A and B are shown apart, each in its own frame.
Chain A
Amino acid sequence: MGWKRKDLLGMQDLDATEITDVLDTAASMKEIATREIKKVPTLRGKTVVNLFYESSTRTRTSFEIAGKWLSADVINFSASGSSAEKGESLLDTARNIEAMSPDVVVVRHRASGAPALLARHLRCGVINAGDGAHEHPTQALLDLMTIREKKGHLEGLNVTIVGDVAHSRVARSDIFGMRKMGITVTVAGPPTLIPAQCQELGVKVSHRLEEAIAHADVIMMLRLQHERMQGGFIPSIREYSRVWGLSLARLAPCRPDVLIMHPGPVNRGVELAPEVADSRYSVILEQVSNGVAVRMAVLYLLAGSKKA
């Protein structure tokens, strides 16, 4: 198995077969985490550069572990304390990194489209680890992997995504990916946090939490950024939490086998009541574990299958 594509920029670019390839590959990668010696030689001699312009612990660490378990040399380049702070442009930084001959650049950037820009200019592979409010494809893949593991299949499921959809790259990637896998997606939140013409993405839109989660197989709670009040999107965190926060009481009428997911980091007490985050419904930590497996799969498919 191998991929013809050079880059992974978004779920919008992938078809269902490619998504299934990643999930199957990730499932086999997952076994490595259970070994005493967590290392396979698959990417020995390959170089992966983590180019992170936004702070991230989880995603960067996840890519780093994924690369290292596959025996790649993983270099972390974070924007703070680097030439980016001295005013070097994204393209110049990228050209400089390319001059060091990496095989894959994993990029996170606050600007939507930044990975696409790099992909156009770099010969090496580019993996989007989150760009602005656009896409975060490996998150969507790990979400799909977690759901498939727990439910045994994807097609026909109902997934409800709750919260700040407008500013969420996770929501977009989830929507694109889930729709391709035959999942019915509902997005729910106050109208100010639902992006324009959202229905045209093929999702249902709801402005009532109870209604939106009543028949859900999976509830994906999104993180609420504290600065959303400044933009006039919500009046207060307090009110948001009252209206849109998920509590055990609100879960009571839902399906008994409903899964609660969250891309992290969780604002406990804002979008998720602490007892929900720690409940039997929650698969938040499985998501994190699967994140490593999915990123191993993606690195393998992009870098491992290409002959040098």
Chain B
Amino acid sequence: MSLIIRNGRVVDPSSGIDAQQDVWIADGRIHKVGKALKVPAGVEVIDAASKVVCPGFIDMHVHLREPGFEYKETIASGTRAAAAGGFTAVACMANTFPVNDNRAVTDYILARAKVEGVVRVYPIGAVTRNLEGKQLAEMAEQAEAGCVAFSDDGQCVMNAELYRRAMEYALPFGTPVISHAEDCHLAHDAPMHEGIVSTELGLSGQPGAAEDVMVARDIILAELTGAHLHIAHISTAGAVRLVRDARARGVRVTAEVTPHHLLLTDDAVRSYDPNVKMAPPLRTKRDVEACLEALVDGTIDCVATDHAPHALAEKEGEFAEAANGIVGLETAVPLLLDRLVRPGVLDLPTLVTRLSAAPARLLGLPGGTLAPGAGADVTILDLEQPWSVNPAAFQSRGRNTPFAGFTGTGAPWMTLVGGVKVTP
């Protein structure tokens, strides 16, 4: 079983390639990358002229909702959404029901993914049992079963002592601990960012300090333990500064940012549309600019969507009572291509790195490269493809996006996982 992707612009920063080349795939692996490759007759040809051929994109922060919340999303629908959005692998958070805090749940997720998943699925295990922040989850067995990181995402582990122990305990597995950095007292369940917009709208606001305080604490704990700390969905200028300073000191801290925290501000909440409600909340222009700058300079390692599907009834009522989170798998790449790459805020190879090699490196995954021998996970982009966001056409069961009706140019064109075409 062999195929060749002909004449695309191959952008593989991990191999230092940005040139028009062919990518020859054999037996599910990258066989050879080069100009005008000669292949035997019978090899399937994909004509990628005027397309961009990249290592498969990896979204290290999604909520697949299965087991327990299949009415929001399933591993089948979530991975179809990933493939449609140009992702060949996802790492799924532990806040399922039951929580992925033990090997049985990890095994279940991987078994379902094997049967129904169309992209690679890497589970992230809980740090504490039932995400309660009281007792460590069985991380060693979970790591053995295939968890690639540990996080209580959705909740912050408020007990610093316990979090310190979690970081230490995870050291031998070589897995990062992913922090949902939100001081729950400072955030006090406020549904939006605190500032002039919350003041005008009469919604209670949480200050950016709710995130900064916890990022600072976690950096200090990472320094104490030597653990690899990864900051999920970083969203404030303050947190960015803390991460930048810590890295300069040599602390093992990495960070991800979501497309919505790069593209929207709390101004969007003026609509009271629950589809702009998420944790952390949309911040100010200053925060957006700091996140963009950090994404460009590498202080922020990667983009992750925090894909958080919900049922319509959970996202159509009163703002303060609506569920947190938005879907992102099917909008991320088009939005980033149109809003960041097209105007020159971020160059294409850097975006490709932030979406492939970087998350692979952070989680210790194979992939993120088109080097010969690597699994043939490939994302092909069409930079001239016009698009408009139509939630009704999503593969995801979630329709909760603030980007409905947005239009732009540049979208994923084809996704291959292990050398097999999964979309279109």
Contacts and interface: CB of A to CB of B under 8 A. Distances in A.
Interface of A: 12, 89-91, 109, 111-114, 116-117, 131-135, 169, 172, 195-198, 200-201
Contacts of A135: 202
B319 A111 contact: yes
Nearest to B198: A196
A112 B319 CA distance: 8
Contacts of B207: 196
Given A90-B317, A113-B201, 10 more contacts: A112-B201, A113-B320, A114-B318, A117-B272, A117-B319, A169-B202, A172-B200, A196-B195, A200-B199, A201-B200
Nearest to B185: A232
A135 B270 CA distance: 13
Contacts of B345: none
Contacts of A196: 194-196, 198-199, 205, 207
Contact of B317 (A91, A112, A172, A197): A91
Given A117-B272, A196-B194, A196-B196, A132 B202 contact: yes
24 contacts: A12-B200, A89-B317, A90-B317, A90-B318, A109-B318, A112-B201, A112-B202, A112-B272, A112-B320, A113-B203, A113-B320, A116-B272, A117-B317, A117-B318, A133-B202, A169-B202, A172-B200, A195-B198, A196-B194, A196-B195, A196-B198, A197-B196, A201-B196, A201-B199
Nearest to B321: A111
A197 B201 CA distance: 13
B1 interface: no
Most buried by B among A91, A112, A113, A172: A113
Interface size class of B (residues with CB under 8 A): 20 to 34
Contacts of B319: 111-113, 117
Contacts of B141: none
Contacts of A113: 201, 203, 272, 318-320
Interface string B90-120: 0000000000000000000000000000000
B18 interface: no
Contacts of B204: 133
Nearest to A131: B202
Contact of A133 (B203, B272, B321): B203
A172 B203 CA distance: 12
A44 B75 CA distance: 58
B199 A112 contact: no
Contacts of A117: 272, 317-319
B154 to A, nearest CB: 22
Nearest to B272: A113
A98 B237 CA distance: 46
Interface in B151-174: none
A135 B224 CA distance: 48
B248 interface: no
B316 interface: yes
B313 interface: yes
Contacts of B316: 91
A117 B201 CA distance: 13
Given A112-B272, A116-B272, A196-B194, A134 B318 contact: no
Contacts of A201: 196, 199-200
Across chains A and B, which 8 residue pairs bring their CB atoms closest together, nearest first? A134-B202, A113-B272, A133-B202, A111-B318, A195-B199, A197-B196, A112-B202, A200-B196
Most buried by A among B199, B205, B319, B320: B199
